[in-house]
Amino acid sequence: MAVQTAADAHRWMMTEPGKPLVREQFPVPSPAAGEVVVQVAGCGVCHTDLGYYYDGVRPNHDLPLALGHEISGVVTAAGRDAEDWVGQSVIVPAVIPCGSCDFCKRGRGTICPNQKMPGNDIQGGFASHVVVPAFGLCPVDLERLTNIGMSLADLSVVADAMTTPYQAAVQAGVKEGDFAVVIGAGGVGGYAVQIAAALGATVAALDVDDAKLAAVAEFGAGFTLNTRGMDPRDIKKTVGGFAKEAGCAPTEWVIFECSGSGAGQSTAYGLLNRGATLCVVGFTMDKVEVRLSNLMAFHARALGNWGCPPELYPGALDLVLDGKVKVAPFVEQHSLNDINQIFEAAHHGELKRRAVMVP
């Protein structure tokens, strides 16, 4: 990627929800101790960004704010104790824990009270440059990346769309011989399908979009089902029929809710069986009505999933660099200057692949 000087630095700011993002020039600050400047190669457009922009979800940082938390790039400057990062290609964690509090020391970085999320707590990646903590940066081996024919920009989606379901799969303990069901086969859900399959599970993918189901059928889904208009009992019966044909257990399913919709969450909860694990990966402001006693009766569990701790990023990245999880077929690059049009297209479901904004 071409090197941009600090004088070229720009970012697209949300001034008010729903109002066009505004391009602004800005002076890149000198990084403080433990911080780095990353020249952005690419930044993915996530459902969470649209939530801030369209749905009234309030970021922690006051407006104006540059959104964007799926960031890859090259470190161009560093503060004290972070100098070794200069020149390194990296993925920036979508949620960056402090690394030093009690939660972090106990391996609970995802609930670190001091965590920083670009595009929420600090200025984000819809920009040419971003200043972030060096803690948790994931180095990228460019030779391995070149060997699989990918660009550093495309790798940006690993920061959230891929690592979030990876963390969910690790937390749920997905292993060889498991049966996994993914609700919502696009975006994050598409990677959940691939990750579960890469970890040895037989995977069923559910969605209401035939095109998304057709895509994941080529990348890890052993069974696909369009659930539009289906009764919940029929859904469970149909999925159970496939599990039986595939030689999988009728119990202890691992269910990934990735649609980020009330309907998807209801479907996921309805699939609970004995010993099942429900992984809540997608986010929605919708409310759903469920009978919590099902968790008790089935001795099942429901797990929240906020981001991914930095220590898991290398393992997720290895799945991509080893060719076990495909990213390139599910992303497309766009000029950062077109961000307002891309937001609109993403909001209306017009994009077939995840958009990566390139400065």
133-158 pLDDT, tens digit per residue, is: 999 999 999 999 999 999 999 999 99
Q: Is the peptide bond before 309 cis (omega within 30 degrees of 0)?
A: no
Given this model, what pLDDT does residue 47 score? 87
Given this model, what pLDDT does residue 5 score? 54
pTM exceeding the 0.75 threshold for the entire prediction: yes
Question: What values do phi and psi take at 83, rounded to 5?
Answer: -60, -30
Q: C-alpha angle 210/49/255, rounded to 5°?
A: 45
Given this model, what pLDDT does residue 4 score? 53
Hey, which residues does 333 pair with through a beta bridge? 356
Token match 């959104």: residue? 67
Given this model, what pLDDT does residue 1 score? 61
Given this model, what pLDDT does residue 110 score? 94
CA distance 249 to 57: 40
Q: Residue 353 CB: number of other CB atoms within 10 A?
A: 16
Given this model, what pLDDT does residue 6 score? 60
The domains located in the chain, with CATH, are 6-160+308-358 (3.90.180.10), 165-303 (3.40.50.720)
CA distance 346 to 65: 19
Q: 3-class SS at 20?
A: coil
Nearest CA to 157 out of 56, 2, 49 is that of 49
CA distance 168 to 48: 17
| Percentage of the chain modeled with pLDDT above 70 | 98
Q: 3-class SS at 25?
A: strand
User: Which residues of the chain have a pLDDT value below 50?
Assistant: none
